[in-house]
Amino acid sequence: MNIYTFKQEADFVSTGAGLIASMLHTKPRSVLGLATGSSPIGIYQRLIEMNQQGLVSFAKASSFNLDEYVGLPEGHPESYRTFMNEKLFNHIDIIKENTHIPDGNAADLEAESRKYDAMLEENGSVDLQILGLGHNGHIGFNEPDDSLVGGTHVVQLQEKTRTANARFFPSLDDVPTQAITMGVGSILKARQIMLLVRGEDKAEIVKRALTGPITTQCPASLLQCHPNVVVLLDQGAGRLLS
């Protein structure tokens, strides 16, 4: 595990975007595992700039997002499909049909989960998986529990997670109670993982995830078992690491 802490936001962004661009230069048909949230936004903005400047192309790439809320109407401003379209896909040369996000409105969510896993298998391992980190240690929407599910599945969101995400909704009552998420087993199959964490409020969970015991009560701690993880932190998030 390679851990980098940045004083400047610009360095955090350029490093993250550079790793993704390098992957695409080396393997234009890369399978990218993408994430939502505030941490990757600057990186996506930089990739848009690089794409529009002709420095990197997504034309042959495909993507799989980690998760989606259950029950938000199509086109809802807080759905992760809307997020990805607005923050990245609408502004680069990726083929929209090659961008995949779990369908949180599927009539049969268990069937949708199996379908998503099948698509992942058909496309081969994810080449580079981007992850954020929840305050309770979740990755994707894999919440702390006595055991974790390997494949894509529906999860009941913990109140801590819903409270953290309430800032994006009119009220806590409007935050969905369920999500459909790629499982930890699928995440760990990625050839390379890039964990992005920003903010002093994440410092304690960063230390626990990266240096604490490996436990399903902190799903991100399982990343310690992966052979190729790059961690990008701002100073606040990394302040408790020696």
Residue with tokens 């990186």: 43
Q: What does the alpha-carbon distance between residue 102 and residue 71 come to, in Å, rounded to a whole number? A: 12
Q: Do 181 and 101 touch, CB atoms closer than 8 A?
A: no
Give catalytic residues, as residue numbers: 67, 136, 138, 143
Residues 6 or more apart whose Cβ sits within 8 Å of residue 103: 68, 112, 180
Strands (E), the chain: 2-6, 31-34, 62-65, 67-69, 99-100, 128-131, 153-156, 178-181, 192-197, 229-234
Number of other residues whose CB lies within 10 A of the CB of residue 181 = 29
Coil/strand/helix, residue 130: strand
